[in-house]
Structure 1
């Protein structure tokens, strides 16, 4: 089974975004990083996918909306991130 697609919506200078990407990098996970600092099409896409989201990062693994950096770190602490990344 192929690894699920990972999308992360970020903004320039966001420490939480850097922390989330660092964790994904440590896991060897390939991801699409969409910078929405200036808004635009990808920000609109993020808002469609997570209508209540008002902060970045917003992380999607496959069809699962993980949430932000804290939620990603929580999945790792609970031992659930690896299986989600595996698909």
Structure 2
């Protein structure tokens, strides 16, 4: 079963680009919401992300993972692959 991965981004955000690169390296599909200048979309993202308004915000199977640093921390701890195969 493929995980449902969603990532809210800005098109030129270096952290967004880095997070997407890791997901692509893992060869998983994800849905990207590019929210450049879309305050309504950013508010929706913040509601889902417990108030966090920075990008990226990443969700795996509707669970809030956090941002780029959080994603890489999961990878460093060896926990990301478990989430991607659950």
Q: TM-score, normalised by structure 1?
A: 0.91
How far apart, in 2, do the equivalents of 1:73 and 1:50 lie?
A: 17
Question: Runs of 5+ in structure 1 lacking a partner?
Answer: none
- Greater than 4 Å deviation, 4+ residue runs: none
> Which residue in 1 is equivalent to 2:68?
69
Note if contact 2:60-2:83 (Cα within 8 Å) is conserved in structure 1: yes
Match of 2:14 in 1: 15
Q: Is the 8 A contact 2:42 2:53 kept in 1?
A: no
Provide structure 2 residue ranges, at least 5 long, that are not aligned to the other structure: none
Tell me the number of residue pairs that the alignment of Structure 1 and Structure 2 aligns. Answer: 86
Once the two structures are overlaid, the 10-residue window that deviates more, 9-18 or 42-51, is: 42-51
CA RMSD in angstroms comes to 1.2
Task: Quote the residue 1:54 is aligned against.
Answer: 53
Provide the rounded CA distance (Å) in 1 between the counterparts of 2:39 and 2:33.
11
TM-score, scaled relative to structure 2: 0.92
